[in-house]
Structure 1
Amino acid sequence: MDLNLRGKVVVLTGASVGIGLAVAEAFAAEGANLLLAARQEDRLREAAARIAREFGVSAVPVACDVATTAGVDKIVAAASTNFGGADVLFNNAGTGSNETIMDAPDEKWQSYWDLHVMAAVRLARGLVPLMKARGGGAILNNASICATQPLGYEPIYNVTKAALMMLSKNLANELIKDNIRVNTINPGLVLTPDWIKTAKELTRDSGGDWEAHLQHVADEHAPIRRFATPAELASFIVFLCSERASYSVGSTYFVDGGMLKTV
């Protein structure tokens, strides 16, 4: 299926590793040009150079912190300078948390709010005018199954991802008149380097069988009994951002191997 993405400009955050990197590669395979944003500059530059070389597309790295206004301004300026705008925005930057509501300080709540919610707000404010000038576009926000089915150990993550999902719905209603589609994707278990790192840490003193630990997690939570690969999720994401999904507006898509326990 031709997704008609060749030559389109895609802005991705959290793009140097895991889901973000897999999505960048999937867009590049369709011939899209990329603006890749992440905090770790060396890793980001290496990923951008490799993608440009392997897929024959433009891949511009922008090292920044999207949780800050300065970081978002840097992305918007780079999109304008290097490509004259943008056609797709994939808000992917984010991280898990670990706390209780009773013990977590205000500063931790604020930092996750800035990363998961305000980054998406600010990037929309900056990039939507550029999308409108090009005739429209697509925004996809990466929330989590935890936005509707929370995990007990990370209430701040759960709450801010739920807010991101609601932001998507409201933004979709506001922007569809400008031919800009906004949707949300709620992944379940995806085998990212963070999951592997955590599993190795948790099993260090008990034999080090991190793979068995992850299998136990999958058996407990997902009827499919395995983690998704980032590439599996990326295929769905690229489709949602293409014109082949032109009637998808303000929707939330669970890609979770059956992990969601309700309809």
Structure 2
Amino acid sequence: MDMGISGKVAVITGSSSGIGLAIAEGFAKEGAHIVLVARQVDRLHEAARSLKEKFGVRVLEVAVDVATPEGVDAVVESVRSSFGGADILVNNAGTGSNETIMEAADEKWQFYWELHVMAAVRLARGLVPGMRARGGGAIIHNASICAVQPLWYEPIYNVTKAALMMFSKTLATEVIKDNIRVNCINPGLILTPDWIKTAKELTKDNGGDWKGYLQSVADEHAPIKRFASPEELANFFVFLCSERATYSVGSAYFVDGGMLKTL
């Protein structure tokens, strides 16, 4: 199936590993040029090398922290100078939290607000004008099932991902007139390196069966009884940004193996 993405420029934040890298690979497989945005230079270099070798597309590396205004400015300027603008933006950068509301300091709330929400706001302000000039585009926000079905141990993550979901909806109504489609994806259990790292840490003192631990998590939360691979999730991102999804605007899609318990 021709997705109509070949030759497009796709900016993906948090794209040196895990879900972000899988998304970048998904777009590169369809012939899109890739802007990899992440903080760790070594991982960026390796990801860029791999994409170029596998798919023969142009790859731009931008090593910045998008939780800062300066980092976003660097992304916008790099995209402008290298490609003249972007056609696709995937706001993927983010991480889980671990706290209680009673104990979490203001600084922690602010950090996650900047990373999960303001990065998306600033990137929209910076990249939408270029999309408009190119005739349109697509923006996807990677939120979480926790935006509507919270986990008790990460209230800050829950709240900021819910805010990102609402930002996605409101941005969609503002920019559709410019032929820019905005949507939100709320994943459930995705087998990322962070999940594996956590499972290994939690089981190191009682036998080390980290795979069994992850299976118990899947059995508890997902009717499909397994985690998704990052590639499975990435396929949905690519589809929503393609010419096969041109009537999808302002929606939130759950890719969660049945984990969501409400309508």
CA offset digits 1:108-163 (Å, max 9, x no partner): 00000000000000000000001001000000000000000000000000000000
Distance 2:168 2:252 in 1: 9
How far the C-alpha of 1:164 sits from its partner, in A, is 0.1
Aligned residue for 1:61, secondary structure, equals: strand
Matches within 5 A, 1:81-100: 81-100=81-100
How far the C-alpha of 1:243 sits from its partner, in A, is 1.7
Matches within 5 A, 1:1-263: 1-263=1-263
CA offset digits 1:212-243 (Å, max 9, x no partner): 00000000000000000000000011000112
CA offset digits 1:186-207 (Å, max 9, x no partner): 0000000000000000000000
TM-score under structure 2 normalisation? 0.99
CA offset digits 1:234-256 (Å, max 9, x no partner): 00110001121100000000000
Q: Which amino acid aligns with 2:253?
A: Y
Aligned residue for 1:94, secondary structure, equals: coil
Q: Which amino acid aligns with 1:192?
A: T
Q: Which amino acid aligns with 1:117?
A: V
How far the C-alpha of 1:93 sits from its partner, in A, is 0.2
How far the C-alpha of 1:50 sits from its partner, in A, is 1.3
Distance 2:45 2:72 in 1: 18
* RMSD, aligned CA: 0.4
What's the % identity of the aligned pairs?
73
How far the C-alpha of 1:52 sits from its partner, in A, is 1.0
How far the C-alpha of 1:53 sits from its partner, in A, is 1.6
TM-score under structure 1 normalisation? 0.99
Distance 2:55 2:210 in 1: 34
Distance 1:45 1:242 in 2: 27
Q: Which amino acid aligns with 1:218?
A: A
Aligned residue for 1:199, secondary structure, equals: helix
Aligned residue for 1:141, secondary structure, equals: strand
Distance 2:155 2:50 in 1: 37
Distance 2:67 2:124 in 1: 13
**Corresponding pairs, count:** 263
How far the C-alpha of 1:54 sits from its partner, in A, is 1.1
CA offset digits 1:1-51 (Å, max 9, x no partner): 100100000000000000000010010000000000000011111111210
Distance 2:41 2:67 in 1: 16
Q: Which amino acid aligns with 1:191?
A: L
Consecutive unaligned residues of structure 2, counting only runs of 5 or more, are none
Aligned residue for 1:70, secondary structure, equals: helix
Aligned residue for 1:184, secondary structure, equals: strand
Distance 1:52 1:90 in 2: 20
